[in-house]
Amino acid sequence: MKAKTVLIFLLCILRGSVSDEDITLRYRKKDFPAGFLFGAGTSAYQVEGAAAEDGRTPSIWDTYVHSGASGIMGTGDIACDQYHKYKGDVKLMKDTGLDAYRFSISWSRLIPNGRGRTNPKGLQYYNNLINELIGNGIQPHITLFHYDLPQALEDEYEGWLSPKILKDFEAYADVCFREFGDRVKYWTTLNEPNVLPLLGYDIGQIPPQRCSYPFGSCAKGNSVVEPYIVAQNLLLAHGHAARLYKEKYQAKQQGFVGLNIFVYWFVPSTQSPEDVSAAQRAQDFITGWFVNPLVFGDYPIIVKKNAGSKLPSFSKSQAKLIRGSYDFLGLNHYTTIDVKHEDHNLEVEERDIFLDMFAKLNLKDSFEFPSKPLGMQRVLEYFKRVYGNPPIYIHENGFVTLFNESLNDTRRVRYLRGYLGSLLNAIRNGSDTRGYFVWSFMDVFELLSGNYTRYGLYHVDFNDEDLKRSPKQSALWYSNFLQGGESFSLIQKPVNQPQTSQSAQ
């Protein structure tokens, strides 16, 4: 699979090829359950800026974008400058009507060397942001790790490839729980840990840019085994942090801890047994790879079978640590894609994870995709059926456009309407989904395309010295919906669906 194709696949910047007939659903905010949260999100490197200010040290993303090898438009050096503009941004959130704001903490801002001394300026910034949010009636939802590992830890022991990361991540989490947990009730340990091994260690598209021929062209790495090692360490790091919170803080702070996963809805290209099986393999390799250990204590059967000895095994104590180590799951969902079986020789040793999956993902080379909202409902029904209906927050859902989009972003409005309507259908069918966050609150420095693409409700003029924020039509629509206005969606009727998962252990 070519690197560019995989990049597009994991970026959600593709076109689904499923043909659906639309039906209309009208709804209001009051149709959602009492206490249901509506918010929007960003992440630290993508929005804060102040990359070298007040004691912050580089993360692997700082190193990457300044290496000259990224090919990304812009850097996160300034980004949206939320480090200095957080009060104005919080006011915009309040004016929009957000219940909650999802953001991440920069590990290298809070603990510059990755371990040891806490940076008082970093501590002050996050305390100020949290207090500003709460003072404006907005609930903070914090992600501890959103791709931006301190460069110091990558240099010292190759970051997520080493079991040494487990102790350092737990210590970092301890600082966050201790310093902010009296006001923060929702903690996500990791953002999209199922994406990092693929893009960072298989094709080397993002830092730390590790891969091997023929799966990518990197200075170092091993695409065959490293993604599985990194995935195991990510799961164990989550387990350690979650256990720490539950044993040391939860009783007093009364908060919740969970993990975030990137999810597609996969449909078979045809109803042939081969394509139906391929769609399920894709689901197990992309979703079950992480969710199965959390729910059942082990990897999916098909992942173990196809990956073989490359896949690390869990000891009894590790399985116990990970299984049930969440109060909720966060899902990032953008679109639906169709899958076709593709033959590969499973006896060949030099395979990366995509060949282990041996399914063809039908993609088109595009930065835009049509609304396929039925996928939201199907994903949530899948989690209800296969994983026991865990509490879920939709952490990311949004529509991408190019940098020169108009403020009249009617396609984004249409997209959000559809996915919210699909979400409501899932809830009415029994899904225990408790919140929804648009990605993103404002245009941010997108990790795989920099300033070239936009997801924001608010436009940020990156050519303006003051980085002026302007509401798009989507911001006005979302605000009106949050204040009780009626919305409607065009929900697609189902066509092809994967069969019941092999995932259950």
Q: For this structure, is 368 an active site residue?
A: no
Please write the tens of the pLDDT for every residue from 193-204.
999 999 999 999
Q: pLDDT over 90 for what percent of the chain?
A: 79
pLDDT tier at 500, thresholds 50, 70, 90: very low
Selection from 241, 221, 218 nearest residue 229 by Cα:
221
Answer yes or no: is pLDDT of 373 > 50: yes
Average pLDDT over residues 461-473: 96
Phi-psi region of 3 (alpha: psi -120 to 50; beta: other; left: phi over 0): alpha
The predicted pLDDT at position 360 comes to 78
The predicted pLDDT at position 494 comes to 45
The predicted pLDDT at position 342 comes to 83
Mean of the per-residue pLDDT values for the chain?
A: 90
pLDDT tier at 377, thresholds 50, 70, 90: very high
The predicted pLDDT at position 358 comes to 79
Q: How far apart are CA 503 and CA 484, in angstroms?
A: 40
Please write the tens of the pLDDT for every residue from 252-306.
999 999 999 999 999 999 999 999 999 999 999 999 999 999 999 999 999 999 9
CA torsion through residues 348, 352, 355, 356, sign: positive
Among candidate residues 48, 226, 396, 405, the one labeled active-site is: 396
The predicted pLDDT at position 370 comes to 58
- Angle of helix 226-244 relative to helix 289-296, nearest 10 degrees, comes to 40
The predicted pLDDT at position 440 comes to 94
Residues 6+ apart with CB under 8 A from 84: 49, 50
The predicted pLDDT at position 343 comes to 79
The predicted pLDDT at position 310 comes to 95
The predicted pLDDT at position 495 comes to 39
Among candidate residues 192, 381, 405, 446, the one labeled active-site is: 192
The predicted pLDDT at position 20 comes to 40
Answer yes or no: is pLDDT of 2 > 50: no
The predicted pLDDT at position 351 comes to 76
Residue for token digits 């919080």?
Answer: 90
Would you say how long the chain is, in residues? 505
Please write the tens of the pLDDT for every residue from 208-256.
999 999 888 999 999 999 999 999 999 999 999 999 999 999 999 999 9
The predicted pLDDT at position 352 comes to 84
Q: How far apart are CA 407 and CA 414, in angstroms?
A: 14
Answer yes or no: is pLDDT of 498 > 50: no
Answer yes or no: is pLDDT of 496 > 80: no
Give yes or no for a cis peptide into 501 (omega within 30° of 0): no
Q: For this structure, is 396 an active site residue?
A: yes
Residue for token digits 């989904």?
Answer: 433
